[in-house]
Amino acid sequence: MALRQDDGFRGRADDVYEILVSAHRDLDEAESAALMTRLVLILANEVGDPDVIREAVALARRTSQVGTVTDSSPASV
């Protein structure tokens, strides 16, 4: 299984973004990091495929370089 290429948010990416941003409101840095860790583990469990998770981690690491322009499409993993 590969990372999805379609709009997994069904046109509601802004709603998902707001959910994620609002989850961090009123949290300090340590609480925010702990929330992200729990969320990543919950979502990884939902994905359930180590190969897809490995692919997503590789994509996230490649696109996390500040000031670096990369092809962030899942197909480029």
Question: Is residue 76 over pLDDT 50?
Answer: no
Q: Position of tokens 């000031």?
A: 67
pTM of the model: 0.72
> Please, what's the b/e burial string for 42-61 (b: 16 or more CB within 10 A of its CB; e: otherwise)?
eeeeeeeeeebbebbeebee
Extract the tokens encoding 8: 């997994």
Q: How is the chain split into domains, by residue range?
A: 13-62
Exposed (0-12), middle (13-18) or buried (19+): which is 72, by Cβ within 10 Å?
exposed
In whole numbers, what is the pLDDT of the chain averaged over residues? Answer: 87
What integer is the mean pLDDT of 21-43?
Answer: 97
What integer is the mean pLDDT of 52-74?
Answer: 76
Question: Is residue 69 over pLDDT 80?
Answer: no
- Contact indicator for 4, 47 with CB cutoff of 8 Å: no
